[in-house]
């Protein structure tokens, strides 16, 4: 029996990269596939942790415990907000609970060299982009009118997460291929992502793609400031060219600009999506100042007449959209649902702390760095944060599972590298 246990553990570890690659490939084309994968990984990780808690919790660094706290924060904040409001809605805890599952995965992976897993994520992200491109080409019946979608992902969420997959594929690459073939594959994946983004008519995904393109060019030419500037300028010219050559892009951007201009200058533009977003941003502010301590539950709004008296530019259509769909920004949505303090803690856990881990004492600006470092998730984080400014990026449970899992791997890489380096330094000091 003693010989079978290590073999069993080795079997799980050998299946982990394959299962993650398959999960990412099916992320946006097979409903609940990635959520099921996260549950399975969390249960497997939890069983290993319970079997040997000393290995996973003894002698851990302060950063490890801070990471554990960050994973617990979304669920704890959501629970405290409900307790503070005196109402309990179990479904509102479903999304934040994904962070608890990913916490188990993080603790397990933090004691492992995750180079093979990182490789699987790169290939899985590439497979996910190809799968979505084929899906919207083969199954146009799933379109929302003229906007690309899959049978369970809407045309706003879909392209933003395809761009997020591209962020993983670009920064991680496709390990095992030559540099030339790697770059060729990245270029093809970029074109596929651009196609999905254009077919979806989603301006949020366009903004995310621009941010990712600039971040990657800065990363790719990190050894030369001159090349960074030249590439950045070239990208700007490329996007301007798309604007003038694509009627879809030009009309959508012009509509956004005119809607914003009308609202700012004359408090008009209520019939545009930009006007909707600006007015709902004001409503988020109103809800937050009215409920600063514990926020307000999704769907609960003051009477329309009361809000109309304060904001004459409000229409009943926008009021209904706000009531049914909630905030049109993940950042303000978190604040409204949790209140000022708890909302800030959620934003810290979801965005600010992962960025800190990626950039603090980061090696990503060096020409050579570890192939399993947390810096490889920079592109992914840039995309999700940019998208969060104008849409809710965790509106599907699958998206919360995907994001929290990627953060878990990012944190595990940082934790393993940091603690291994400390052990190595102590060993060298003792040897000397």
Residues 50-93: tens digit of each pLDDT: 999 999 999 899 999 999 999 999 999 999 999 999 888 888 89
- Given a cut of 90, whether residue 427 has pLDDT beyond it is no
Q: How confident is the model at residue 361 (pLDDT cuts 50, 70, 90)?
A: low
* Annotated domain spans of the chain: 17-223+340-431
Q: What is the mean pLDDT of residues 93-120?
A: 94
Q: What is the mean pLDDT of residues 308-320?
A: 90
Q: How confident is the model at residue 143 (pLDDT cuts 50, 70, 90)?
A: very high
Q: How confident is the model at residue 36 (pLDDT cuts 50, 70, 90)?
A: very high
pLDDT at 211: 97
Higher pLDDT, 10 or 38: 38
Higher pLDDT, 126 or 423: 126
Q: How confident is the model at residue 2 (pLDDT cuts 50, 70, 90)?
A: very low
Q: What is the mean pLDDT of residues 124-153?
A: 96
3-state secondary structure 196-224: HHHHHCCHHHHHHHHHHHHHHHHHHCCCC
Q: How confident is the model at residue 8 (pLDDT cuts 50, 70, 90)?
A: very low
Tell me the per-residue pLDDT of 225-235, one tens digit each, with 9 for 90 and over: 899 899 999 99
Q: How confident is the model at residue 366 (pLDDT cuts 50, 70, 90)?
A: low
What residue spans of 339-396 are helical by DSSP H?
340-347, 353-359, 378-388
pLDDT at 4: 47
Least confident range of 12-16, 68-72, 335-339, 405-409: 12-16
pLDDT at 374: 83
Handedness of CA 245, 247, 253, 257 (dihedral sign): positive
Least confident range of 16-20, 265-269, 288-292, 420-424: 420-424
Q: What is the mean pLDDT of residues 247-263?
A: 92
Cβ contacts of 426-430, under 8 Å, gap ≥ 24: none
- Given a cut of 50, whether residue 157 has pLDDT beyond it is yes
Region for residue 129 given its phi and psi (left: phi exceeds 0; alpha: psi -120 to 50; beta: otherwise): alpha
pLDDT at 150: 96
pLDDT at 1: 40
- Given a cut of 80, whether residue 372 has pLDDT beyond it is no
Tokens read off for 347: 């934003």
pLDDT at 12: 59
Q: How confident is the model at residue 364 (pLDDT cuts 50, 70, 90)?
A: low
Higher pLDDT, 429 or 326: 326
- Whose CA is closest to 92, among 290, 337, 283? 337
Tell me the per-residue pLDDT of 172-211, one tens digit each, with 9 for 90 and over: 999 889 999 999 999 999 999 999 999 999 999 999 999 9
Higher pLDDT, 92 or 100: 100
Higher pLDDT, 320 or 164: 164
- Given a cut of 90, whether residue 335 has pLDDT beyond it is yes
Q: What is the mean pLDDT of residues 361-377?
A: 63
pLDDT at 365: 53
High-pLDDT (> 90) share of the chain, %: 71
Give the rounded distance of the alpha carbon of 231 from its chain centre. 26
- Whose CA is closest to 212, among 417, 378, 18, 8? 378
Q: How confident is the model at residue 421 (pLDDT cuts 50, 70, 90)?
A: low
Q: Which residues touch 130 (CB under 8 Å, ≥6 apart)? A: 25, 189, 192
């Amino acid at each position: 029996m003693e010989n079978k246990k290590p073999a069993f553990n080795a079997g799980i570890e050998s299946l982990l990269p394959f299962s993650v690659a398959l999960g990412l490939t099916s992320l946006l084309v097979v409903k609940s596939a990635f959520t099921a994968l996260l549950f399975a990984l969390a249960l497997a990780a939890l069983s290993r942790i319970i079997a040997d808690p000393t290995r996973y919790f003894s002698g851990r660094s302060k950063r490890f415990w801070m990471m554990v706290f960050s994973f617990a924060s979304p669920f704890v904040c959501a629970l405290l907000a409900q307790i503070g409001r005196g109402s309990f809605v179990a479904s509102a805890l479903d999304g934040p609970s994904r962070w608890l599952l990913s916490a188990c995965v993080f603790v397990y992976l933090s004691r492992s060299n995750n180079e093979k897993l990182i490789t699987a994520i790169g290939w899985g992200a590439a497979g996910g982009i190809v799968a979505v491109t084929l899906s919207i080409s083969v199954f146009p019946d799933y379109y929302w009118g003229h906007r690309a979608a899959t049978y369970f992902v809407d045309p706003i969420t879909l392209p933003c997460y395809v761009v997020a997959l591209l962020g993983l594929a670009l920064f991680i690459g496709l390990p095992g291929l030559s540099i030339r073939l790697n770059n060729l594959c990245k270029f093809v994946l970029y074109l596929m992502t651009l196609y999905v983004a254009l077919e979806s008519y989603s301006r949020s995904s366009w903004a995310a793609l621009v941010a990712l393109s600039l971040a990657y060019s800065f990363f790719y030419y990190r050894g030369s400031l001159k090349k960074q500037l030249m590439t950045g300028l070239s990208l700007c010219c490329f996007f301007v060219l798309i604007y003038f050559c694509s009627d879809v892009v030009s009309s959508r951007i012009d509509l956004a600009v005119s809607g914003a201009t009308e609202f700012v200058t004359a408090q008009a533009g209520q019939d545009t999506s930009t006007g909707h977003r600006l007015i709902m941003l004001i409503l988020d502010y109103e809800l937050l100042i009215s409920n600063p301590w514990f926020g307000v539950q999704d769907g609960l709004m003051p009477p329309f007449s009361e809000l109309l008296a304060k904001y004459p530019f409000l229409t009943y259509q926008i009021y209904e959209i706000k009531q049914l769909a909630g905030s049109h920004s993940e950042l303000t949505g978190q604040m409204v649902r949790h209140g000022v303090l708890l909302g800030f803690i959620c934003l810290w856990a979801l965005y600010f702390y992962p960025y800190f881990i990626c950039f603090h004492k980061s090696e990503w600006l060096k020409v050579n760095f570890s192939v399993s470092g947390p810096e490889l998730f920079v592109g992914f984080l840039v995309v999700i944060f940019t998208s969060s400014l104008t849409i809710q990026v965790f509106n599907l449970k699958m998206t919360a599972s995907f994001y929290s899992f990627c953060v878990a791997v990012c944190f595990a890489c940082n934790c393993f590298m940091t603690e291994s380096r400390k052990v190595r330094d102590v060993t060298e000091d003792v040897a000397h």
